[in-house]
Amino acid sequence: MSPDTKKVFSLALPAALKHLVNILQILIDMLMVGTISTAALAAVGMSMQFMMIINVLMTLYVVGGNALISRFIGQRRKRRASALLYSLTIFAIILSIFISIGGYFSSEAIYSLMGAQADVVEQGKIYFEVLSLGIVVIFIDNLLYNALSAAGDTKSSLYIKLLSAALNAFLNYVLIFGHFGFDAMGIEGAAIATILAYSFNVIAYYILIKKMNSKLDFLPLIRMKDMKRVWNIGWSAALDRGISSMSFLVFVSIITAYGTAELAGYQVGLRIEGIAFMPGFGFSIAAMALVGQNIGALSYDKAYRMGIISGRMAYIFMGSVGFILVIYPEFLISFFTKDALTIAVASKYLILVGLAQIPLAIMFVYSGALRGAGATKITLIVNVSSLWILRVIPSYIAYELGYGIIAIFIIMNIETLIKGLIYWYIYSKKSWLYTKV
């Protein structure tokens, strides 16, 4: 294994494992909340949809911050990177205040607008009010994780996340059900446990950066020029994520129109496919950091090579997982449901997406590399055009013409294949390497 390959793998593996821990933490949360009531479980599930919208706002400063911090690290300009991290932290705090106020006072209205029943609205109001008060630590956690990743440290974040997930599960046990002298707080206890776990992350990241990280620090200096550069990158990334989220909601609504079994089959298949995403996510993080650092060091050929290496490793891993999805779909689905119709739909979904894992890997890694270079306007155009022109609109037409759910899954796969080819072509042209930010 070459030194460059080792470097990619050393960044990608912890990032992928952290993503797995995130998934496991959500599943544990849902299992524990589910013992309270069905309404509580539905309320927490709906809150995740709201957090998708909030994640769009975090993209404003996270993607641009990543691109610039990795460039400064590559240029060995620790003071400039540290000043930017400080500035982004202040911006995240200010932005979170507005989100917290809006979320706290409109939590009941949000659930009502989503069409939730009265008992879900009641539980959701309790949960999201507490969560809104802790938005600041969620914003800072996201920022510091991405900043450390941009600096080339994903291993520390994995260790912090492992401790945090264990703490969250323990606090759920204590606060939801009432142990060790605490009253049983139900869904409110679940929200408090989540915020305390995020607070632990922020404290751990701060100690790590101040005491142990040689590449990054908090330098109390605000350079508005650098902040403008961050926003110049971030607005297109945020718009990309926002429009993409809307397109996915429309796409799911088309699948919903087919019936409950089709929707359940899609959701189960998507959950299983999420495991296949882990290598792609990890290698995307590695490409983003290493491409940005090498562009900062003016090593354009090496920056390009790091993306190629990340892409090759991603499609080997994801292609292998895809092979398993194709060969053993029913076995994998049996862990989630025993309903025959749902299994039939989910099996067809997994077989088709299993065949699309290699172009999906290319899409993951090369779009991450482009973001690391600051070329977010390119990713915005490609993602939005592809999702709407090649996926959503054809799926709607297929539904109206009376085609079955398999046609929708085939359209989804064709869109993934074409988008992967588009990213491969753009990446190979190399012009994105010289993006000015």
Residue 46 near residue 55 (C-beta atoms within 8 A) = no
Q: Any residues with CB less than 8 A from the CB of 153 and at least 6 apart, and which?
A: 213, 215
Q: Which amino acid is at 420?
A: G
The conformational region for residue 226 under phi > 0 = left, psi -120 to 50 = alpha, else beta, is alpha
> Of the candidates 194, 168, 195, 172, which has an alpha carbon nearest to the alpha carbon of residue 184?
172
> Of the candidates 91, 192, 105, which has an alpha carbon nearest to the alpha carbon of residue 142?
91
d(CA 163, CA 366): 31
User: Residue 213: what pLDDT?
Assistant: 65
> Of the candidates 279, 130, 120, which has an alpha carbon nearest to the alpha carbon of residue 197?
130
User: Residue 381: what pLDDT?
Assistant: 92
CA distances from 263 to 199, 236, 238, 257, 323 (A): 36, 31, 28, 8, 24
pTM, rounded to two decimals: 0.84
d(CA 405, CA 397): 12
Could you read off the pLDDT tens digit of each residue along the chain, which spans 437 residues?
A: 677 788 888 888 888 888 888 877 777 777 777 777 777 777 777 677 677 778 888 888 888 888 889 888 888 888 898 999 999 999 999 999 998 998 888 878 877 776 667 777 788 888 888 888 999 999 999 999 988 888 888 888 899 999 999 999 999 899 988 888 878 888 888 889 999 999 999 999 999 888 766 778 888 888 889 889 888 888 888 888 888 878 877 887 888 788 777 777 777 787 777 777 778 888 888 888 888 888 988 899 999 999 999 988 888 888 888 899 899 888 888 876 677 777 888 888 889 988 888 998 999 899 999 998 888 899 999 999 999 999 999 999 999 998 888 999 999 999 999 999 999 999 999 999 998 87
d(CA 397, CA 33): 39
Length of the chain: 437
Q: Which amino acid is at 303?
A: A
